[in-house]
């Protein structure tokens, strides 16, 4: 019998809670790699190799690979192979925020889980159960629903309903109950609005959190850990992208990425 997603997550986070976000932009890569045909592959695979000892999850943002066309798809495939080889304990979260009507969502689920082999995906819950169930019915895979994101304009929709019943809390409530039949649903809860994490946790006590927004986006790590990753909560991960993968623009970029991943792992442990 295959492991459930929560079993995979427990195993991955046994030694830490770092999620490395992989959002590669050619112009931000070290200069000596930018003009090389294999530069993107070297960059991504070197980041994985150097951060593997400290990392519970890798989260490639699909937009950054899709924007490069065939080369990007090839790089993503090689990246996934690199994680499986260098960090077999880690989970891979396909960050595409996919969602659509049921028949299309089912095709997205096939693409994300069967074609790419992701252990988990991010999903926009705006379409409700029809757009969520094709992902959650894969009991060995995880689904992180967007609840409280880090972008400034998120409040335009996510705060709808006012302080008493904002939309992001309705997502948390439904994720804990209606949408979590197979115990494989989690929530994306941004650290940039750390004062509200406690409200989300109160309504979703059994759900693992994927927490972006620390590091370059300025989210408060101590609050995110204490409210989102306490020992009484399910295992969660703290994502850092730019703060790790762009830690150096020199030839020591991989070494510095590893140092930053280790530092984040240790800082998370100190906050618990």
* Each residue's pLDDT tens digit, 102-156: 899 999 999 999 999 999 999 999 999 999 999 999 999 999 999 999 898 989 9
Instruction: Calculate mean pLDDT across residues 161-174.
Output: 93
Residue 35 tokens read as 């003009």
Per-residue pLDDT tens over the stretch 67-94: 999 999 999 999 999 999 999 999 999 9
Alpha-carbon span 28 to 34, nearest angstrom: 8
Q: What is the average pLDDT value for the chain, to the nearest integer?
A: 94
CB 15 within 8 A of CB 236: no
Count of CB atoms within 10 A of residue 14's CB? 11
- Supply 194's token pair: 């750390």
Positions annotated as catalytic residues are 97
Task: Find out whether 200 and 170 touch, Cβ atoms under 8 Å.
Answer: no
pLDDT grade, residue 220 (50/70/90)?
Answer: confident
Q: What mean pLDDT is predicted for residues 189-217?
A: 88
- H/E stretch holding 198 reads helix 197-203
Residue 206 CB coordination number (10 Å)? 14
Residue 219 predicted with pLDDT over 90: no
User: Six-digit token pair at 159?
Assistant: 């705060």
| Pair 118, 112: CB distance under 8 Å | yes
Q: Identify the CATH number of the domain defined by range 5-271.
A: 3.20.20.70
Helix (H, G, I), strand (E, B) or coil at 18: strand
Per-residue model confidence (pLDDT) at position 217: 66
Phi and psi (nearest 5°) for 209?
A: -105, 140
pLDDT band at 226 (very low <50, low <70, confident <90, very high): confident
Radius of gyration of the chain (CA): 18
Helices (H), 13-136: 31-34, 39-51, 62-66, 69-86, 102-109, 129-136
pTM: 0.96
Is 224 strand, coil or helix?
A: helix
Closest CA to 134 of 100, 94, 83: 100
Beta pairing class for 18-22 and 57-60: parallel
Residue with tokens 């190799």: 49
């Amino acid at each position: 019998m295959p492991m459930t997603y929560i079993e995979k997550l427990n195993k991955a986070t046994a030694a830490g809670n770092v999620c490395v976000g992989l959002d590669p932009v050619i112009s931000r890569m070290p200069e000596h790699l930018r003009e090389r045909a294999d530069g993107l592959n070297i960059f991504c695979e070197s980041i994985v190799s150097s951060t593997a000892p400290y990392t519970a999850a890798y989260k490639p943002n699909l937009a950054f690979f899709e924007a490069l066309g065939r080369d990007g798809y090839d790089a993503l495939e090689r990246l996934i192979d690199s994680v499986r080889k260098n960090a077999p304990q880690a989970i891979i979260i396909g960050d595409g925020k996919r969602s659509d009507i049921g028949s299309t969502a089912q095709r997205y689920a096939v693409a994300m889980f069967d074609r790419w082999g992701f252990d988990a995906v991010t999903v926009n819950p705006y379409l409700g159960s029809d757009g969520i169930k094709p992902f959650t019915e894969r009991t060995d895979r995880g689904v992180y629903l967007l609840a409280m994101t880090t972008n400034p304009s998120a409040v335009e929709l996510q705060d709808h309903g006012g302080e008493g019943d904002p939309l992001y809390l309705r997502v948390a409530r439904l994720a804990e109950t209606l949408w979590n039949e197979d115990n494989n649903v989690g929530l994306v809860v941004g650290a940039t609005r750390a004062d509200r994490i406690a409200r989300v946790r109160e309504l979703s006590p059994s759900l693992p959190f994927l927490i972006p927004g620390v590091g370059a986006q300025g989210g408060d790590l101590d609050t995110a850990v204490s409210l989102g990753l306490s020992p009484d909560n399910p295992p969660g991960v703290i994502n850092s992208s730019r703060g790790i993968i762009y830690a150096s623009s020199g030839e020591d970029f991989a070494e510095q990425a590893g140092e930053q991943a280790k530092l984040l792992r240790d800082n998370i442990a100190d906050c618990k």
